[in-house]
């Protein structure tokens, strides 16, 4: 309706419910119930409009590594806004923060990389990787080598291409996805997909054999790349079994298939190394980064590519006359300045050493919660964990998805002052990297109480004994 005759709404919650289409939300429930309005932050806590404090158990969306009140990042943004608030990188233009950030990332790269392309989100970085994979294979005279393999339960983004790579049904349902040319290999989740009597080593071998069979079935000359998160966080914190990547990578090399490491969540300390690539021994051709790159204070992402890919792209751009890909905000100077400051903080405060210091307590709590009657499997690495609910631990049974038991546990966690998410059957935990041991104890004790409440709720409804 025209602005002048719209009814005045008497609260921010009502305004939001009336006009805001939220991501990853039940739209009708949002209209009915409205949002939780967050108005402030302090360290690992966020504060709602009523003044209530919550431990942010997901670091926002796996991204607020330095918490919600890091003054140095605010100052870095303010300085750059005053000096040069925006300029682009098209047509031989550059800004100081963008150039310095590219240099810093190449120096930090866990394997040799040649160039950095900037974008605004992890989805855009991975979408760029898809386009570059196609462009690269055209440049080297392999126009049929275009199919890309991801994995079931993977999460690589929400653009048309990256949502297709994502291996979660709700990201495809009624969006007419996946697009052609995107394939999915089996999920390397031993707890859920291991066969009776099978060891983790045998399961890893079977995962590798499944991938090679898919490649042979489709034709190696048609398979261009394999996308993999070091840990499949949004899919339920699936930590690959030992030797999984050691078995996968020779297959990719044998068939000349590029490896893209999606470090959007794992990058910058989350797994106990600066990159998940180091934790799991990957040798990727491309690495996508986002989220903790700027500690989430401003949107920015990056795709690093190796020399082989860059040289082919450069030659093709000469042939065509231009490399015709880019975003208005690629390398935005304010976002780049904040990212540079975040990287300085990681180095000065040795954030990786801090993660290694507190992660044992965090993972000890994860193992303890694995003994809870409601938890079928507790898994994790570094400062990320997944707690999978089950009505029958012994038989690894699943709840009916319509019951949304993990989501119920997340609601009860919020009542106990922790914000997290129930994704499928799993509660994810991924706190800010600055969390200390006392805060870990408080976080996990509250989560334990939330599971106690959810267990009582499930038993009252006859969902489990």
Task: Report the pLDDT value the prediction gives residue 9, as an integer from 0 to 100.
Answer: 58
Ranking 62-66, 340-344, 400-404, 426-430 by mean pLDDT, the lowest is 400-404
Task: Report the pLDDT value the prediction gives residue 4, as an integer from 0 to 100.
Answer: 46
Give residue for tokens 């300029």: 87
User: Does residue 2 surpass a pLDDT of 50?
Assistant: no
Task: Report the pLDDT value the prediction gives residue 7, as an integer from 0 to 100.
Answer: 52
Measure the CA–CA gap between 372 and 389, rounded to whole angstroms: 10
Residue 409 near residue 454, CB atoms below 8 Å? yes
What percent of the chain shows pLDDT beyond 70?
98
**pTM score of the predicted model:** 0.95
**Assigned fold of 73-348:** 3.40.640
Task: Report the pLDDT value the prediction gives residue 8, as an integer from 0 to 100.
Answer: 52
Give residue for tokens 């302090």: 42
Peptide bond before 178: cis, by omega within 30 degrees of 0? yes
Q: What are 179's two structure tokens?
A: 């697009």
What is the arithmetic mean of pLDDT over 275-286? 98
**pLDDT tens track for 19-30:** 999 999 999 989
Query: Count of alpha carbons within 13 Å of 424, Cβ hemisphere only?
Result: 20
Domain parsing of the chain, residue ranges: 36-69+350-460, 73-348
**pLDDT tens track for 254-276:** 999 999 999 999 999 999 999 99
User: Does residue 3 surpass a pLDDT of 60?
Assistant: no
User: Does residue 5 surpass a pLDDT of 90?
Assistant: no
Residue 326 near residue 332, CB atoms below 8 Å? no
Angle at which helix 244-254 crosses helix 200-218, to 10 degrees, equals: 20
Q: Largest alpha-carbon pair distance within the chain?
A: 69
**pLDDT tens track for 311-330:** 999 999 999 999 999 999 99
- Reading phi first (left if > 0) and then psi (alpha if -120 to 50, else beta), residue 147 is in beta
**pLDDT tens track for 389-409:** 999 999 999 999 999 999 999
**pLDDT tens track for 174-232:** 999 999 999 999 999 999 999 999 999 999 999 999 999 999 999 999 999 999 999 99
Write down the architecture of domain 36-69+350-460 according to CATH.
Alpha-Beta Complex (3.90)
Beta bridge pairs of residue 389: 375
Q: pLDDT grade, residue 1 (50/70/90)?
A: very low
User: What average pLDDT does the chain have?
Assistant: 96
What is the arithmetic mean of pLDDT over 53-65? 98
User: Does residue 86 surpass a pLDDT of 70?
Assistant: yes
**pLDDT tens track for 108-165:** 999 999 999 999 999 999 999 999 999 999 999 999 999 999 999 999 999 999 999 9
């Amino acid at each position: 309706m025209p602005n002048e005759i719209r009814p005045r709404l008497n609260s921010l919650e009502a305004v939001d419910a009336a006009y805001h289409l939220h991501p990853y939300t039940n739209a009708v429930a949002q209209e009915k119930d409205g949002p939780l309005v967050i108005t402030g932050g302090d360290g690992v806590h966020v504060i709602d409009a009523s003044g209530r404090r919550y431990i942010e158990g997901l670091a926002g969306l796996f991204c607020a590594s330095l918490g919600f009140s890091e003054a140095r990042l605010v100052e870095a943004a303010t300085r750059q806004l005053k000096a040069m608030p925006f300029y682009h990188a098209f047509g031989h233009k550059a800004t100081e923060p963008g150039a310095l950030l590219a240099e810093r990332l190449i120096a930090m790269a866990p394997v040799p990389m040649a160039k950095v392309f900037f974008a605004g989100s992890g989805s855009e970085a991975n979408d760029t990787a898809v386009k570059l994979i196609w462009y690269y294979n055209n440049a080297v005279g392999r126009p049929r080598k275009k199919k890309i393999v991801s994995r079931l339960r993977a999460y690589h983004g929400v653009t048309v291409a990256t949502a297709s790579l994502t291996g979660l049904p709700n990201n495809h349902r009624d969006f007419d996805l996946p697009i052609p040319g995107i394939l999915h290999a089996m999920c390397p989740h031993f707890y859920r997909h291991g066969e009776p009597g099978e060891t983790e080593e045998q399961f890893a071998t079977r995962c590798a054999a499944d991938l090679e069979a898919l490649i042979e079935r489709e034709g190696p000359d048609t398979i261009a790349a394999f996308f993999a998160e070091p840990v499949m966080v949004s899919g339920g914190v699936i930590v690959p079994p030992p030797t999984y990547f050691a078995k996968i990578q020779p297959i990719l090399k044998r068939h000349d298939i590029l490896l893209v490491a999606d470090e959007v969540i794992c990058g910058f300390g989350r797994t106990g190394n600066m990159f998940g690539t180091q934790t799991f021994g990957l040798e990727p051709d491309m690495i996508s980064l986002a989220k903790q790159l700027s500690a989430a204070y401003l949107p920015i992402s990056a795709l690093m590519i190796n020399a082989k890919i860059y040289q082919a792209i450069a030659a093709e751009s000469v042939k065509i006359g231009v490399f015709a890909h880019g975003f208005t905000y690629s390398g935005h100077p304010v976002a780049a300045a904040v990212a540079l400051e975040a990287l300085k903080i990681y180095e000065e405060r040795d954030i990786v050493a801090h993660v290694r210091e507190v992660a044992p307590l965090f993972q000890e709590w994860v193992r303890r919660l694995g003994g809870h009657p409601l938890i079928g499997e507790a898994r994790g690495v570094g400062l990320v964990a997944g707690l999978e609910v089950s009505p029958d631990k012994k038989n690894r049974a699943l709840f009916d998805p319509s019951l949304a038991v993990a989501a119920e546990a997340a609601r009860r966690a919020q009542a106990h002052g922790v914000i997290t998410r129930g994704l499928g059957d799993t509660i994810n935990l991924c706190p800010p990297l600055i969390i200390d041991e006392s805060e870990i104890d408080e976080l996990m004790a509250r989560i334990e109480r939330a599971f106690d409440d959810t267990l009582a709720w499930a038993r009252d409804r006859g969902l489990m004994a």
